[in-house]
Structure 1
């Protein structure tokens, strides 16, 4: 499996966020890399509140975190967050910390084999409700250490101890989502299903059970991630050309999807991002 990527895809106004928080990614232990894409750690100590915005990936996240003045006022807790269908917003105040495991799309199901991934979509649940082993002591062992490696070691220890059921269908789902993410030629669900040797209905059932969202949703979400990244890093984007490169029928369709997901048109977002630098 590849090492954690260093891009900021999915983060709205990454420069604004990264000037306010310490954000790092780490690899999980080797046996976990089949299912977990990376660990992500964020710490903040803010003089005034800040709202962070994320266009989420089609992934389930397990996090251990605390937020408030200090840990005594806000003890660490665990949370399982399914795929968020819209823009995810979190208000950061005071001091806090999040230690998260981002599962590969399709990679969470082996840890909850009796529950389809669609069950978690749009939900944020107590980690202990999903995994009884995620006790307050576990949350404290992950979120309390000051050193990154101690937090990573605690995440490794917790996840390595969780029972899981290897599933070829999970492997297939992970492979198919990776193809969508990396291959711009994947534009239509019907064509993609044929290349995968599946009917459209079988592909849709696979994604509902193992990813939690439809293949069409995944295709559109990765398009928006690419457009968001492009808008934030290029000063003179030709939106019509980018729309065509991403497989849109025309620029208007890209603008519609971008605006519906991010909340502002891409040209306005690009202008705001440049002004904030």
Structure 2
């Protein structure tokens, strides 16, 4: 394994990059989960490989005067940061990009495409030239209102189902989710493929692993065996394999990214 970049460890990445989450306007809440903005200035430092972990959200990002739609990615990836720059982004509620796309969200899973293919003209230059993240948010809000799709009750239903998965750590099996919804496993699978872009098993797994990273952020010491049992894993080794496959690093290696509490 290559020698580790010391800027990954103990929160050192925060010395050259800033993350913020401007609050979206309330009228966008039916489709937008959150806005995000990141800026960085590496000065004369070498480029930095930023780990990007997957989430069950379609993203609209505005990097360097462009605009891109990112389908849900099943595994982690890296973005290389060099020099100075900034990106503004929109994370759509899981299930709620389907009305904008007009077709199954699984057709863009793992893909990045020009936003104009989905939305038509996009104010990428205005977002690039905006003074700060607050102004970027206002520009993007106006754009999203102009692109507002027709209502789709199924999108709201799927968003509520994903919220149920996210909020219940004891929910670890698709069959349990189907039973909770009073339907069949296959029906849940079809609904998730159409509206989320990935299956319910993947979504459950991702949110249970987020429980793990949340605990890392809160504490330097994690009872791995206890967490594995609580989240429905047969043993600690199974949790470690699942974590590494999705996040791209072992739990202990990933935990080192956080500053000491």
Is the structural similarity TM-score above 0.5? yes
Whether 1:27 aligns to 2:27 is: no
3-state SS, counterpart of residue 201 of structure 1: helix
Deviation at 1:83, TM superposition (A): 0.4
3-state SS, counterpart of residue 194 of structure 2: helix
Which residue number corresponds to residue 128 of structure 1? Answer: 116
CA contact (8 A) 2:57 2:72 kept: yes
Whether 1:185 aligns to 2:170 is: yes
| From 62, 86, 91, the counterpart of 1:97 | 86
CA contact (8 A) 1:16 1:276 kept: no
CA contact (8 A) 2:216 2:258 kept: no
TM-score normalized by structure 1? 0.85
Which residue number corresponds to residue 3 of structure 1? Answer: none
Cα RMSD (Å) of the superposition? 1.9
| From 27, 48, 56, the counterpart of 2:54 | 56
Deviation at 1:149, TM superposition (A): 2.1
Whether 1:84 aligns to 2:82 is: no
| From 99, 106, 131, the counterpart of 1:110 | 99
Stretches of structure 1 lacking an aligned partner (at least 5 in a row): 1-11, 67-75
Q: In 2, Cα distance between the equivalents of 1:126 and 1:89? A: 19
Q: In 1, Cα distance between the equivalents of 2:254 and 2:164? A: 28
TM-score normalized by structure 2? 0.90
Q: In 2, Cα distance between the equivalents of 1:14 and 1:60? A: 29
Whether 1:139 aligns to 2:153 is: no
| From 224, 228, 243, the counterpart of 1:258 | 243
3-state SS, counterpart of residue 153 of structure 1: helix
Deviation at 1:229, TM superposition (A): 2.9
| From 141, 144, 151, the counterpart of 2:136 | 151
Q: In 2, Cα distance between the equivalents of 1:274 and 1:81? A: 26
Whether 1:225 aligns to 2:210 is: yes
- Which stretch shows the higher mean deviation, 125-134 or 99-108? 125-134
CA contact (8 A) 2:172 2:208 kept: no
Q: Deviations over 1:86-111 (max 9, x none)?
A: 11210001111111010011111111
CA contact (8 A) 1:87 1:262 kept: yes
Q: In 2, Cα distance between the equivalents of 1:176 and 1:221? A: 14
3-state SS, counterpart of residue 41 of structure 1: strand
3-state SS, counterpart of residue 11 of structure 2: helix
Q: In 1, Cα distance between the equivalents of 2:23 and 2:100? A: 19
Q: In 2, Cα distance between the equivalents of 1:199 and 1:274? A: 40
Q: In 1, Cα distance between the equivalents of 2:117 and 2:224? A: 45
Which residue number corresponds to residue 168 of structure 1? Answer: 153
Which residue number corresponds to residue 3 of structure 2? Answer: none
CA contact (8 A) 1:55 1:225 kept: no
CA contact (8 A) 1:36 1:104 kept: yes
Whether 1:119 aligns to 2:107 is: yes
